[in-house]
């Protein structure tokens, strides 16, 4: 399944991952995360590189895992970005994505690990969600 979002990376050693898309793309992603019941779903992505994030990710995988304590795990493997977690974790991230889809174009959210953040488990990946015109 192709989803109308793009994912880019600025540095694979200490990655900052940018997910960009329009309202439609984020609504599809939010819906898929909410309805998702595992074991995994694979999405092909649009390519929309930019100067700040010059490397494109080609695949997004949503993966269901048991007992992630409500926290989402973020993994970057080559050109694949993996979001995994239990139902509560995926629902929590889905709500953040849904809220972004109802914002003004240009709005962006940073999701970084810090103790008791309630969304992502400990990771070296910094995540940026950016709302743009539809891709």
Range of the domain at 111: 2-131
Beta bridge partners of 8: 18, 56
For the stretch 34-84, pLDDT in tens is: 887 779 999 999 998 888 899 999 999 999 998 899 999 999 998 999 999
User: Which pTM was predicted?
Assistant: 0.91
- pLDDT the model gives residue 92: 92
- pLDDT the model gives residue 1: 87
Query: How many domains does the structure of the chain reveal?
Result: 1
CATH code for the domain of 71: 3.30.1360
């Amino acid at each position: 399944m192709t989803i109308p979002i793009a994912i880019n990376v600025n540095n694979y050693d200490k990655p900052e991952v940018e997910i960009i898309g329009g309202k439609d793309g984020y609504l599809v992603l939010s819906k898929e995360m909410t309805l998702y019941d595992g074991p995994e779903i694979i999405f092909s992505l649009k390519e929309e590189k930019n100067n700040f994030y010059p490397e494109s990710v080609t695949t997004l995988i949503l993966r269901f895992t048991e007992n992630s304590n409500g926290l989402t795990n973020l993994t970057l493997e080559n050109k694949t970005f993996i979001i995994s977690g239990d139902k509560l974790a995926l629902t929590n991230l889905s709500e953040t994505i849904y809220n972004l889809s109802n914002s003004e174009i240009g709005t962006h959210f940073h999701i970084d690990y810090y103790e008791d953040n309630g969304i992502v488990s400990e990771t070296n990946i910094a995540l940026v969600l950016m709302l743009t015109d539809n891709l």
